[in-house]
Amino acid sequence: MSQPKISPLPPPEVTPTRIAPPAEPRSRWVWIAIALVVTIIAGYWLAQRWASRESAAQTAARSAARSVPVSAIPARRADMPVVVGALGAVSAFNTVTVRSRVDGQLVKVGFQEGQFVNQGDLLAQIDPRPFEAQLTQAEGQLARDLAQLRDARLNLERFKGLLEKQFISKQQYDDQAATVGQFEGTVKLDQGAIAAAKLQLDYSHITAPIAGRVGLRLVDVGNMVHQTDTNGLVVITQLQPIAVLFTIPEDHLPAVLAKLQGSTRLAVEAYDRSGRSKIAGGELIATDNQIDPTTGTFKLKAVFQNADRALFPNQFVNVRLLLDVRKDATIIPAAAVQRGPQGTFAYVVKTDQTVEVRPVTTGIGLGDDVSIDKGISPDELIVVEGTDKLREGTKVQLEKSSAPAAKPKLRP
C-alpha cells in the first residue's frame, strides 16, 4: 500500500525587524535656539549702532552747517599794572578834642555842627568878665609899682650926690639901691601877672587849632565848663589831607621797601565798597616797623589830598597799591578764559570763521582784564560771549567785534 504523499510545509514567514534610527540629542536644538537669539540680538545692536552713527553724523553736519552767534574781542598789547589789593580804613590825619583851658560859663557857640572850619576860627566864648577884671587889677598894680620904682630911682640919684659930699653914709646909699632893685622885681611880677591875665582872657575865646570838620556839639550854651572836663566842647577831624591805613601780605614787603628806599612814590587808589568806583588817589608814605605774626601781614599808611572831601574818617575802602607795571603784555577779557579738565583755555576765532580751542597760561589780573603769558598773540579774536555752545571747529557768526581797548587803568 502506498503511503500518502506528504507535502512539505512552507517555511515560516519571517517578519523583518525594523531598527529605529538613534534619537538626536535634545541639547542640539537648545544650542541652535541660543545661536538664533544671539544672531538676532547682534543684528539689532549693529543696526542701532549704525543708526546712531548716522544720526550723529547728520547732527554734526547740521551743526557744522549752522553758525553759532558769538561776541569776540581782539587781544591787545598794552602795559599791565601789577596791583596789590587790600581792605583799608580811612583815618583822620589829625583829630583834636577841643577843651576849655579856663573855668567859666559858656556864653556863645560860634560854629554849626558838621561845619568845616579853618584854623583860628572862633568856636566858643567863655564869659570874659572875670578875666578882664583880673587884667585890670594887674595893670593897676603895675602902675602903682612903676610909680614907686621911679621914686626910688630919684632918691637913689639924690643919695649919690649926698654920698659924694659925705652928707650920708655908704650904708644909706646901699639901702636905697636895694630898694630900687626890689621895686624893679615887683614891676616884673606885675608884668607877668598882666601877661597871665591876658592869656586867660585869650583862652576865654576858644578858636580852632586846626582846619577840619567839626562834629556834634558836646556842651550847650549856659553850662559851666572846666579845664578838667573829659568830653570837651567839640571834636575836629582834619580831612585835608587824610590818611588810609591798610595791610597787605608780608610776601610783598621786599618789593615795597625796595621802592620806598629808592625814593619811589608808590601810587595808591581808594575805591568804594563794591570796588568799582574810584574815590580818590594818593601815595604811600610809610610802613609799620613790624609784621603781625598772627596774620602774616604788615601795615602801611597812605596819604590822600582829598580835595573833594570824599573820604571820611573810619570809612572802609578797597585799596589798590601799584607795585609795578608789566610792559607790552597781551591782555584779554577775563570772561574769555575758560576752565576745563585740561586746564585753562580760550576760544580763538580763525580766518574761516571757525573756533579753535587754545590752551592759555594766564598772568596777573586787573578788574575785567587778565594778561596772557602764553597761548594767544595780540590782535587774535577771542570769544567773550556764547562759549557754552562752542566746540572745536564750530562755525561762528560774529555779532559784534570791539576794537582794542585803551591802556588798563589802576582799578580793581
Distances (CA, A) of 326 to 129, 169, 267, 364: 69, 98, 15, 9
315, 351: one domain: no
Domain boundary among 156, 188, 223: 223
Using alpha carbons, select from 350, 361, 362 the residue that is nearest to residue 392: 350
Q: Can you tell me whether residue 9 is helix, strand or coil?
A: coil
Which 8-state DSSP code applies to residue 378? Answer: T
Quote the CA–CA distance of 124 and 118 in Å, as a whole number.
14
Which 8-state DSSP code applies to residue 334? Answer: G
Total structural domains in the chain?
Answer: 4
Beta strands in 110-264 (DSSP E): 116-117, 122-126, 205-207, 212-214, 224-225, 234-237, 242-249
Range of the domain at 72: 68-79+327-401
Q: How is residue 233 written as a grid cell?
A: 566842647
pLDDT at 105 over 90: yes
Report pLDDT digits (tens) over 288-315.
Answer: 889 988 999 999 999 999 988 899 899 9
Most confident of 65-69, 139-143, 249-253, 368-372: 139-143
Q: Can you tell me whether residue 3 is helix, strand or coil?
A: coil
Tell whether omega for the bond before 241 is within 30 degrees of 0, i.e. cis.
Answer: yes
Does any domain span residue 187?
yes
Report pLDDT digits (tens) over 75-88.
Answer: 888 888 888 889 99
213, 172: one domain: no
Does any domain span residue 26?
no
DSSP H or E run through 173: helix 170-203
Report pLDDT digits (tens) over 326-378.
Answer: 888 888 888 888 888 888 888 898 888 888 888 988 887 777 888 888 888 88
343, 356: one domain: yes
Q: Give the CB-side neighbour count of residue 33, counting CA atoms within 13 A.
A: 5
Report pLDDT digits (tens) over 13-28.
Answer: 544 545 445 545 566 7
111, 134: one domain: no
